[in-house]
Structure 1
Amino acid sequence: MIHFRQAAAQDLERIVEMLADDDLGSQRERFEDPLPPCYMKAFEAIDADPNNELVVACEGNAVIGVFQITFTPYITHQGGWRATIEGVRTCSAVRGRGIGAKLIEWGISLAKERGCHLVQLTTDKKRTDALRFYERLGFQNTHEGLKMKL
């Protein structure tokens, strides 16, 4: 049985492990023992912010998935709120079992509870399987996103 909850500090090592467990993630994450302090600093900022949640999917006590959701008020759309889902990962051992879809569905339900009019997400263009996955869930490629590394 899969259940969802807010991530706790003791989940951080497992979360970083999942984030680092693919070609792109392994290039940008540092899954080391001990974890670099930057991860705990980020976790503490997310945990203290009422408009951010780090959510884990668990099977029993095992953390098998994660995503971050950020709620943002906008002046556009008549002052509406949006939810942005990022950092979606499932552990490689459970991929193909529908856990990712359940994670996204949970995120959408959180956005609805918060009165958001829109859920948005981004994924690297190199993640073609992820793009197809999100489109299968009803996301539409309606905008061109741009990023600048600082």
Structure 2
Amino acid sequence: MVLKHENLFHVGVVVEDLDQGMAEFRESLGVSWRQPFFPSADVKTPHGRSTMKVGAVYTEHGPVHYELLQRIDSGLWQTCGLHHLGYWSNDVAGDTERLVKLGYVLEGMMMREDEVIGAYLLLNGSSRIELTPRSSSQRLLGK
């Protein structure tokens, strides 16, 4: 088994405006937010490799967090709404390979030079998951 329920750590939602999305979630769900961050993501897809700047923010508390992602005009984050379930992985490249063998379709990999630092995969064309290195937990969630 590649995906374990106990490794689910966030639900990713793409929003049109990060500040407005944070306010709406705060008001409707009573959540508090960590500091937003705006990394440049080097993304490798079946169509090639590109760099995209994306805004993101996680809720303060879990165990399952919300992640809001700022919509961008092209690429992986262009459609607003529920986007993915995020899982910790101790081996993103290896787990990606195992999931592809189980029928998932690799949609994109986030890269740092030649190191895989995240992956998006689809099952049945609509259920998207994200694999994130467990080693990123301190940086992303302060844990």
Question: When the two structures are superposed, what TM-score results if normalisation uses the length of structure 1?
Answer: 0.26
Tell me which protein shows more strand as a share of its residues. 2
- Which of 1 and 2 has greater Rg? 1
Question: When the two structures are superposed, what TM-score results if normalisation uses the length of structure 2?
Answer: 0.27
